[in-house]
Amino acid sequence: MSRLFTPITLRGTTLPNRVWVSPMCQYSCDPVAAPGVPNDWHLVHLGGLAVGGAGLVLTEAAAVLPEGRISPYDAGLWNDEQARAWARVVDFVHGQGAAAGVQLAHAGRKASTHRPWDERSGTVPAAEGGWETVGPSALPHGDLAVPRELDAEGIAAVVRAFAEAARRADAAGFDVVELHAAHGYLLHQFLSPLSNQRTDAHGGSFENRVRLLLEVLDAVRAVWPADKPVLVRISTSDWVEGGWDVEQSIALARELAAHGADLVDASSGGNDPRQEIPVGPGYQVPNAGRVRREAGVPVAAVGLILEPAQAEQVLVSGEADAVLLARPLLADPRWPQRAAVALHAAREVPWPAQYARATRDPVPLARPFPRPGVDGAS
């Protein structure tokens, strides 16, 4: 049996397979009429990925506070209107046999930016709907605005906001929450000595720099049902000398497990424009494998995992317990179903009755998988 299409149980929640949808920001909320509220785009986008056979469908980063959005167009979970809108998406995902997860996030000093396709850089000015950003220290990221350093009250407010968002996620019916502590956003900013130059209890030593993430995890775990898992996405390396690295990630993973995290989602980068990332197929998998082996915790791998055989080997070799896909799923939402055919596990990923006729036509299932830089995948 294919390892990729074997169920996995975390706490009391069983996920039907190990092909998971990586969080992908869509920048598609209405920033004026319905700030942070997911809409039909999110329903169709995430619902289509559930129809395609993914075992866990994770939402894009949902901001826990308005000022925690990456852009004015980002989704959120800081109020009940947003929770009700997410519940509609969750219900549809569940109806396709997939589990639904939400990534809770705060962008920190990388907030209030333009959408990627707007072809504008820098911080969105207040006159255009932007806001003051915050961070662990008054250090900007690249050409973005200098953030306001969070004081003790501000830090406590962030912790409370994550917990309240988790409460709403449970009310909306989500099976999984993931804390976003990667890619240079607020929780990662506190972890890395490149962005955290505080001299109080939240800065300096490793123990102090990981404190905020553990406080957030404790607060979320206290309100999140005991039978539902909490995932934590981390960047295993800043790819900058003197920054956050895989050795610190291993130590952090042990702490996360001790505080109730159930799986580490191992990504990398995003915190410093000087990063030099050795991008290539599966380039983040070795760090994921080290975290899994040396910390002894379940791990998911992500990053240029494109082919079914490649994904299968990541799991069979013991480098990870699950894989997360992003751009390959954008290029082909049916990737899980076609991968199951390629790995002789087609019965493990049933097609919806409405689409079953496609399984009787060999042409769609025989189509090559997306190639990076050729078929829209990367």
Q: Which DSSP string corresponds to 209-277?
A: HTHHHHHHHHHHHHHS-TTS-EEEEEES--SSTTS--HHHHHHHHHHHHHTT--EEEEE---S-TT---
How far, in Å, CA of 24 to CA of 327, rounded? 9
- Dihedral in degrees, nearest 10, Cα atoms 22, 292, 335, 17: -100
Contact criterion met (CB below 8 Å) for 162 and 179: yes
The question of whether 27 is a catalytic residue gets the answer: no
3-state secondary structure of 148: strand
Of the residues 27, 185, 283, 355, only one is catalytic, namely 185
Cα 247 from Cα 251, distance rounded (Å):
7
Burial class (CB in 10 A: 0-12, 13-18, 19+), 273: exposed
Angle at which helix 211-223 crosses helix 246-258, to 10 degrees, equals 30
Nearest to 180 by CA among 308, 52, 271: 271
Q: Kindly list the catalytic residues.
A: 185
